[in-house]
Amino acid sequence: MARRIRVSDEVYRELEKLRSPGETFNDVIKKLLDERRMGSYIPKASPTPLDEYRTYASIATLRKILEKKSEDREVG
């Protein structure tokens, strides 16, 4: 038997971020409850500081490569 529940816009947006293609909101909520029971809940929507560092490091590396190519074109 299906039931309807109300959630705030904020909660809806968070659930939407956690939802994978083809998943229903019911699937997301069930997965969160199962993970909570197992003590393994780590939200995938929130990047870790390490993820952020890797992103910034990748951007910095890419920027250096592009600057080098630009300098090579100016000299050559």
Query: Based on the domain organization, do 37 and 61 belong to the same domain?
Result: no
Kindly state the average pLDDT of the residues 53-74: 70
Same structural domain, 56 and 69: yes
CA distances for 14 relative to 25, 28, 43, 50, angstroms:
11, 10, 10, 21
State how many domains the chain has. Answer: 2
Same domain, 50 and 37: no
**Domain with 32 in it:** 7-45
Over the stretch 29-42, which tens digit does the pLDDT of each residue have? Answer: 988 888 777 765 55
**Mean pLDDT computed over 16-31:** 90
60 and 71 co-located in one domain: yes
Shared-domain flag, residues 55 and 26 = no
CB-based contacts of 15, cutoff 8 Å, min separation 6: 7, 25, 28, 29
In a domain, 1, yes or no: no
User: Using 50, 70 and 90 to split pLDDT, how confident is the model at 23?
Assistant: very high
